[in-house]
Structure formats: structure tokens, C-alpha cells
Structure 1
Amino acid sequence: MRHEKLLGTNRIEIYVEETVPRYSDPLFRAHFRMTRASFQDLLELIGPHTEVKNISLERRTLACLWYVSNQETFRNVVDRFGMSKGSLRYYLMNFCRTMTSEDILPRQITWPRKEEYRAIAEQNAVKYGFPGAIGCLDGTYIPIPGPRDFRDSYICRKGFPAFHLQGVCDNKLKFLDVFAAYPGSVHDSRVFKNSPIANLLANEPLPEEYHLLGDSAYALLTYLLVPYRDNGHLTADEKRYNSVHSSTRVDIERCFGLLKGRFRKLKYLDMRNVREIPLVIVTCCVLHNFVINRESFVDEDIDVDGTDTEGTTGTSPSEHQSGVNKRQ
């Protein structure tokens, strides 16, 4: 049996047997954000952790990928893949729980081992000129309709309801850590303070010569270096520090832009169940790393409008003296 849809000027065919849809490779990647070979690898990854159902694993997975990769409504995705709304929601949540399970997530989003710090820092130093950086930290907003209860707490500084996604990435735009647990009204610095990665770095500090880079929304720490505040009296060295810091830290903005360029549902995640929203967000981050490990990307894949990092507002975070000494 074959299900056909018209998509602009392109006729595409969705086979509902056990076979993968027979798109041309460029069209397959355009709609599902990965090549056919990567899709086969994804099926092999999730297959052992997925229960058998009447609808094939391929079709279920393609429906989930289509949902997170495009901005179509839930109803349109249901019609496209010939299943009920209840079925799609069930398969989507199962897919997200599988991708964020302890069997898969820790293998796709991994914090570097101590013996890897030096190589990462040297790559950043050669590429940008900033020594000792092993990752870049920032937060971004994922727009949502907003829940019916406590909706005001989800209104971000830009005036719309959103969920907060915190990420740490390397110079290959791979996530080293992600954290999605707070509504959009919560400031970056508070999200970081209460995140697992902050707890990890507090209990297992980075060697003194290594650090993360963050913008001035964060407190200055020995393991998190931020720019000098521009009070109009910065020295030439401080201005150069800020310039190189900024050119290095832009990787996290490009990482978020690539994430939202690939998984466009994150431009507006039309879900109201706040318990399920983090599952979908983190699933997209896992898929982001999964694809980067197998495929290259070009700058055109990066959504420049998706780099809506929070920036600095409100009271400036504190500067710990140990961080001040290290930065100096």
C-alpha cells in the first residue's frame, strides 16, 4: 500500500510497509534532517529498546522525525502518515523516552574525559586564540503556547511564553551537556546554578588551566570565564580579551542555530503539557549530536534567527575573586 502527498512542486511517496520511504537522498535529508544511511543507523540504535506494534518501526520513527523536523501542525503530520492523533502522540512520547533513556542519551551527549581536555583546549586555541577553553555555555528560548496554569511564569524577557534550554558545546558544535527544566522567566545564571553540570563542576573541578566560556549573564568563576564589563574604561588587553572570548563563545550560538535549523519544531513547540516538553527538546539535542557524528553540515543549515540567546539583563552576577585572578 502506498500513501502519496504533494509537497510544493515535489511529489513524494510514503510507503507504509516495512521499507524506508523511497525519497531521493537529497529530499529525504531535506525533510528528515539526516541521510538515509543515518536513518538506518538510528533504527538500529532504537530498535532493541522499542516494543513491537502493528505500525512498523520505520513508519513510526519517520513520523516522529517529521514532527520535530518541520513546523507542520500535529493534525497535518497525522494525515501525512495515516495514523490517529492518539497513535502519533503515543509513538512520539515513546520515541522521546527512548532517545533520552540511560541506554542512549549518555552515549550521544557525553562530557569529555579528563584526558581529552588538553586536545579540545588546543583545538580552540589554534582556531580562535583563546587558551584553555573546553566548551561554551549559554541558554536559549524554545517558544511554546504556554500552559493554562501559571502561564506568566513562562513569559521570557522577549515577551512570549517559552521553555529554557541550557547547553554546553564544543568547537564542532556538538553538545557536551544539555539541561531543559526551567520556564522562560528564569534567568540564565539561576538555571546554571541549579543545573547538574554546575553541581558536577563544583564537586569535580576542572584542572586550573581549563574552563568554560559564558557571556556576562553568568557569574565569573575559575571554571567559567565571562567577558569584562564594558564600563567605557577597558584597557587594550581587556578589549582584546573580550574580542577573542566573543569569537570563541559564538560556537554555542551557532550550535543553537544549527539545532533549530534542523529541528524546526523548536522554533515553536506547540505543546501545552509541560512534563512532555523537556522530553521533546532533549530528544532534538540527542538527534543533533547523532547526526553530527555521522554527517557534515554547511553554514546554510544554521538558522541565524535561532541564536536568540538570553544576553544580559537585570542585576549583574557576582565575580568570585579566584575567577577575577584567573581572568586577569
Structure 2
Amino acid sequence: MGALVSSKPVMRRSYGRRTPIRARNKCNGLYTGKSNMAAQGPLLPAIIGYGLFQLFEDDEEEKLQLYLLQTELESARKERVKTQGYFEVTIPRYLPDTFQRFFRVSRNTFEILCQQLGACPEMRTRLYRGGREELHSIKKVLLVLRYLASQETILEISDKFNVTEYTLLKYRRQVLEAVYNNMMGRIITWPTQNELPDVAQRFNDMGQYQFPGVIGAIDGTHIPIEAPRENPQAYFNRKKFHSVILQAVCKDNLEIIDINVGWPGRVHDAKVLRNSTVWEDGDRISGYGRFHLIGDGAYPLKRWLLTPFRDNGHLTAEQKKFNKSLSSKRQVIERSFGLLKGRFRRLKHINMIDIKEICNVVCTAVVFHNICISNGENLEEFMEEDDDLMPPINPLFDQQERNAEGALKRFNMANRLRFL
């Protein structure tokens, strides 16, 4: 894919329309781009040396100093001490709590991941025809889990597992592509129409306040990244750091059922929504008015998406109760983001500049997040407050996007909540 242009997200490769990365059912809009980072890894000292020689090409003394620096870098690479027996000896001896603390999943969930990934064509071990032998699929999954679970550098992880940086980057890409090609559509998916009443009932029973008909909560969060090569200013958000936006819808149990990832951090929540499958299919997936999503004031009011009354200082008692009830239910998406980023700490800052690679990392973390939840690993110990939520800034939608059906539905719901 080509370079991004101002305020445009990563684009999908098919389906005829240019739309941002998103995943629902067959994971509409995701890419299968390949990174060239792996090829760059071993050449880093040479690349540094070449670039700096060009910079100081007229200064012989500088050339000599830079040559010595390059030599030291190459020597340091050769003298690195890799951990011996970590995969073969140390990890099998980990107690369950230690394994979970280090890889952020239980051994049981890890076995499920290995089983599902092992069935993917991308993960099949090729016949050995000489050269460096391919890693076992279990080691590949552990490498990627540790990468997602930590903020360790590629160098630190590769040394720990006694592999080269090139090998780590190669198999990271392989696992991420296997997740995209084979697991996204199965793991990140909306409830069926038959399941919607049960989802709504669980939402209504959750917490102190009732709010009938909710099948999901929607919000966006920033994923901090390095400044991209193309249009870095578009990714510099209002919180003063570079990011891509992850829009997600989650159920009452924190499982994420829809994502849209890749829009630049400067873009508003509402614009991300407008360019997502939720916007296109919102009325249908909510049963044509029977059910609804809930969101904050950054989103437009629709029949299938209820938002708070704007507090102008003159809200009625019914409107205040509506807002309080909606807010109490909507906290589930904030908790889902908190668990996602608390478990997979790589999402606190992805040290990459390739947007396609960044989105692939985020999508894989969401898939693993859902598998953990489906396996009963909704662990409060990993829960952290998400400081990167999108601020509810949307000054125009009250005038431009107040859907009449949505306004009527919200009015009726506020009156209904008086008696609940």
C-alpha cells in the first residue's frame, strides 16, 4: 500500500472502496502487508555508518570517527550474550502464576492459542532443506506473546529466546498474518439476532442502574506510536502525542465485538464512526430499533446509538437519570480498553512507524484479548485505567446529526427509566 495522505487512515486492499482498517465477521478492511523491518535489522550499523558518512563526506576526521563507531557497533553485535535454554528449560519450569505474569495468559489459554494458530497455513513448518532450521510453532507463539505482553525491545526479547532480531521479526509477522487471515472473522464478531435479547438482559442486570436494550458500548482510544514517516502531523493528537485510533464495541463481559483501527490520532470519534461498518450496518445489527448501542457525547444520536443529553444546566430529573444510567453502563468499554492495554502492554506505546504493522499488532492483541475472556481470564489484576480514551469533543453533531428517530427513542427511554 502507498503512503498515507493527510487525515486519511490506512486503506483496505479490496472490496472496491477505500475505507479504514476494521474487523467484523470476515474482518472487513484488514491488510496483509509485509514489513521490510526484518531485512533491515542485521544491517543497522552499516546503514548508520553509510548515512553519517554521507553527512560528513568532506570531513576526513569525522569519517574516521564514524568508521570507528561503526566498527564498535558491529563488534557489540557479535559479542552479545544470548540466554541459553530459556525456551527449552526455564519456561517449562515456570509455576502457573509466573507463566501468566510473564506472558499475560494462562497455560491453558496458551495451549488454545497454539492449537488455533497451529492449524493456520502460515504456521506450518516447511521441510528442512538446509540452512537455519525453522522454529517450532510453540516458540513462535511465545515470542509474539512476550512481545505483546511487554515493552521490551526486539533486541531484549531475541536475546532472551536465543534468536536473532531478524528471526523474531520474521515470525512476528508470520503469527500476525496467521491471526488476520484465519482468526479475526471468528473471534471478533457480533452476536447473532437470536443472541441479542440475552446480551441486552445481561447489560440491564449489570450494576446499580437499569438501561434496557443495550447490546454494546462504543468508544475510541489512542494507541501511542512513533511519528510516522508520512504526514506525522495528522497523527499528533490533541493530547500531544502521536497515535492511531482504535474504535471498539464491547459486550457486558468486556469481549470486543467490532473494531476499526488505523485512523490518525487527530481525527474525531464521530468521523471514525462514519467510516466504519457500525455506521453502515448499525440499524440492522441492532434489530431495526429493538436494541441499541450506547456512546458518549462525541457520537451522533441515532435510533441504534443512544448518547447523553447535553448538560446545559437545565436538565430535567428524567434527563439526569438517563445520563447517569447510560454512563454507568458505558463504563464497560473503558474497562475493556483498560484490560486490553493492561494485559498487552505493547499497546501503551508501539515503537513502530509503519501504520500497517501497527494496526496488525493492535488487531492481534484484540483477538487474544477475546480468547482470554472466552476462556474465563477476565482478570482484574491486569486491569488498568486507560488514560488514552478519546475526549468527547463533538460541537457540531447536536445541530447536524440529531436524528429524529433517535431523539424520540431517547425521550421515551428517559421517561421509561423514571419507573425503573
**Would you call these one fold, judging by a TM-score over 0.5?**
yes
Say yes or no: does 1:51 pair with 2:124: yes
Q: Select the residue among 98, 102, 107 that pairs with 1:31.
A: 102
Identity of aligned residues (%): 35
Q: CA deviation at 1:200?
A: 2.0
Which residue in 2 is equivalent to 1:10? Answer: none
Alignment counterpart, residue 194 of structure 1, candidates 238, 253, 275 = 275
Q: Is the 8 A contact 1:216 1:311 kept in 2?
A: no
Relative to structure 1, is the Cα distance of residues 204 and 26 closer, same or farther in structure 2, using a 3 angstrom cutoff? Answer: closer
Where does residue 9 of structure 1 map in the other structure? none
2:159 to 33, 56, 79: 79
**Which residue type is aligned with residue 322 of structure 1?**
E
CA RMSD after TM alignment: 1.8
Q: Find the aligned partners of 2:268 and 2:362 in 1 and give their Cα distance.
A: 18
| Residue equivalent to 2:198 | 119
Look up the equivalent residue of 2:371 and give its one-letter code: F
Shift in Å, 1:21: 3.3
Give the Cα separation in 2 of the matches to 1:307 and 1:178. Answer: 19
Q: Which has the higher strand share?
A: 1
Aligned counterpart, 2:307: 226
How much has 1:4 moved relative to structure 2? 4.9
The 1:20/1:31 distance shift into structure 2, 3 A limit, reads: closer
Q: Which residue of 2 aligns with 1:263?
A: 344
Q: Could you tell me which residue of structure 1 aligns to residue 366 of structure 2?
A: 285
Residue 383 of structure 2 aligns with which residue?
Answer: 302
Does 2:96 correspond to 1:14?
Answer: no
Q: How far does residue 125 in structure 1 lie from its aligned partner after superposition?
A: 1.3
Misfit runs of 4+, over 6 Å: none
SS at match of 1:227: coil
Partner amino acid for 2:288? Answer: P
The residue identity in structure 2 corresponding to 1:174 is E
**Match of residue 67 from structure 1:** 147
Separation of aligned partners in 2, 1:302 and 1:252: 12
Q: How far 1:201 sits from its partner (Å)?
A: 2.0
Q: Corresponding residue for 2:62?
A: none
Provide the C-alpha distance between the structure 1 equivalents of 2:162 and 2:260, rounded to a whole number of angstroms.
34
Q: Provide the rounded CA distance (Å) in 2 between the counterparts of 1:20 and 1:94.
A: 22
How far apart are residue 182 of structure 1 and its match? 0.8
Local SS of the residue matching 1:181: strand
Instruction: Evaluate the alpha carbon distance shift between residue 316 and residue 21 of structure 1 in structure 2; reply closer, same or farther with a 3 A threshold.
Output: farther
- Count the aligned residue pairs: 316
Structure 2 counterpart of 1:40: 111
Check whether the contact 1:174–1:255 (CA below 8 A) recurs between aligned residues. Answer: yes
Alignment-mate amino acid for residue 271 of structure 2:
R
Separation in 1 of the partners of 2:327 and 2:286? 24
Flag the structure with larger Rg.
Answer: 2
Cα–Cα, structure 1 residues 20 and 104, in superposed 2: closer, same or farther, change >3 Å?
Answer: farther
- TM-score normalised to structure 2 length: 0.72
Which residue of 291, 312, 318 corresponds with 2:392?
Answer: 312
